[in-house]
Amino acid sequence: PGGSRIAFLPGPVLLLGAPGVGKGTQAKAIMAAWGIPQISTGDILREIRNRDLQPSVIADRLLNEGKLHEDDLSRMAAGKLVSDALVNDMVAARLEEPDTVRGYILDGFPRTLVQADWLDGYLASSRDGFPVVAVSLRVNERQLLLRITGRRSCPICKRIYNVHLKPPVADTVCDFDQTVLEQRADDTEAVFAERMRAYAEQTAPVLEHYRALGRFAEVDGDATVEAVTESILAAVEHLRE
Ligand code: AP5
Ligand code: MG
């Protein structure tokens, strides 16, 4: 651990799992351990949604190219997946950035078999053919609901907290920049149920896709953040042997 990890070449890593399982939390820890960026399709979509408040290069680009439809953002609010074409375009644009050369963590993508097929094709035709490895986190549904309803995040630095499980030092503000924490609009019990339904119907087959390719590991997400990070790093290092 530690020193040896920065020499490791991670390549593309997919972080999969149900809503609230800890993908964002773990992606940030992996980013620090391996020095590769987190690419979260959910975060990019929220950036697009908030383009009135903060300028967004990616939102401008997708709007100019006619690829962004208001319908997608209302689907997101309702807990349904947005169109494959939109997220595939978002990911393609992000993967062009130079910080992805040593690898990257895709957080919450691919979420459908169409997206998985698109990614397989995209990677086969670009880069040096470095295959993806997929890690799926698992947590029981009762715990997921607690994680979702208690989540708060910093709109500036994006750090993630939980009022029940991982509270900030001072009640309602970020430990690092003292910004007032926000709650996501889709973190209600009703929308969570819809997100779980989308996960079971559309994303569960994606796990089987990578399992069948033999580049898949399942990690128990119901442990401390640090212990889960260790399990993910070990699983990916093992898959890359
Ligand atoms: P997205 O933003 O990806 O949401 P999600 O998949 O529902 O996952 P979350 O972000 O809610 O959870 P997480 O796993 O990141 O958990 P976190 O680390 O925050 O997607 C949102 C929407 O965008 C979708 O519904 C869809 O509409 C659209 N979308 C996105 N990608 C798409 C795609 N590819 N295709 C189509 N549509 C797409 O942790 C949760 C909480 O738990 C936090 O409070 C945290 O502090 C706490 N916690 C984490 N780990 C631990 C731990 N070990 N112990 C205790 N607490 C913990
Ligand atoms: Mg997330």
Query: Quick check: helix, strand or coil at residue 104?
Result: strand
Pick 117 or 69 by higher pLDDT. Answer: 117
Rounded to an integer, the average pLDDT of 109-134 is: 90
Distance, CA of 192 to CA of 177 (rounded, Å): 29
Test site for ligand 1: of 146, 160, 201, most ligand atoms within 8 A of the Cβ: 160
Q: Which atom of ligand 1 is nearest to the CA of 79?
A: 25
Residue 50, pLDDT score: 86
pLDDT at residue 68 tops 90: no
- Ligand 1 in reach of 165 Cβ (< 6 A): yes
Ligand 2 mean position, distance from CA 89 (Å): 19
Is residue 146 within 8 Å of residue 164, measured between CB atoms? yes
In the numeric block, the tokens 């559309």 are attached to 202
Helix (H) or strand (E) holding 66: none
pLDDT at residue 215 tops 90: yes
- Ligand 1 in reach of 160 Cβ (< 6 A): yes
Pick 43 or 130 by higher pLDDT. Answer: 43
Distance, CA of 136 to CA of 17 (rounded, Å): 5
- How would residue 37 be classed by pLDDT, with cut points 50, 70 and 90? very high
Query: Quick check: helix, strand or coil at residue 183?
Result: coil
Rounded to an integer, the average pLDDT of 149-171 is: 93
Is residue 136 within 8 Å of residue 218, measured between CB atoms? yes
- Ligand 1 in reach of 81 Cβ (< 6 A): yes
Ligand 1 mean position, distance from CA 80 (Å): 13
Q: Which ligand is nearest to the CA of 143?
A: 1
In the numeric block, the tokens 């698992």 are attached to 138
- Ligand 1 in reach of 231 Cβ (< 6 A): no
pLDDT at residue 183 tops 90: yes
Q: What are phi and psi of 216, to 5 degrees?
A: -140, 140
Residue 216, pLDDT score: 97
Collect all residues with Cβ–Cβ distance below 8 Å to 234 and sequence separation of at least 6. none
